[in-house]
Amino acid sequence: MSGADIAAEVAAAIAEAGAETGGGVPLVGTITRVTGADETTYPPTPGGATDYACTVVLDQYSARDREGTQIAAQDVKAMIAPDAETDPRNGDALTVAGKTFSIVNVDAIQPGGVVLYWECQARKGED
């Protein structure tokens, strides 16, 4: 089985888990990335926001995970499937089920060099 085959199975598992927690349908989120202004033009062209779809499962951090770390009480663990339209990055916004989070840390789970999923520390923002 290739890494791509395993990644496809993980994506299907995340969709299935999201369906279990998302009312019977996979839990779909939106990664929003804001780009900076293009200062090579005059006047500078303002940056914009681009949305990317992703399948996601949200989970809580355990007290053990939080102890002695910078994981805040309002932070959640977001597991994003590898078939997302883009890779999540620190500073992106993640919107799931009407709630918006700021991505503060991203770990690509990629044994063998193939991303199986992204594990993100997502901080609850003001809606």
Instruction: Kindly list the domain boundaries of the chain, sorted by start residue.
Output: 3-36+46-124
Q: Give the residue from 24, 47, 37, 33 showing the smallest Cα distance to 95.
A: 33
In 59-105, which residue ranges form alpha helices assigned H by DSSP? 63-66
Ranges of residues in the chain with a pLDDT under 70 are 21-25, 126-127
pLDDT tens string 75-93: 999 999 999 999 999 999 9
Structure tokens at 27: 């839990």
The owner of tokens 């193939």 is 114
The predicted pLDDT at position 82 comes to 93
Please give the CATH topology (third level) of the domain spanning 3-36+46-124. Answer: Thrombin, subunit H (2.40.10)
Q: How far is it, in rounded angstroms, from Cα 60 to Cα 69?
A: 15
In this prediction, residue 92 carries a pLDDT of: 95
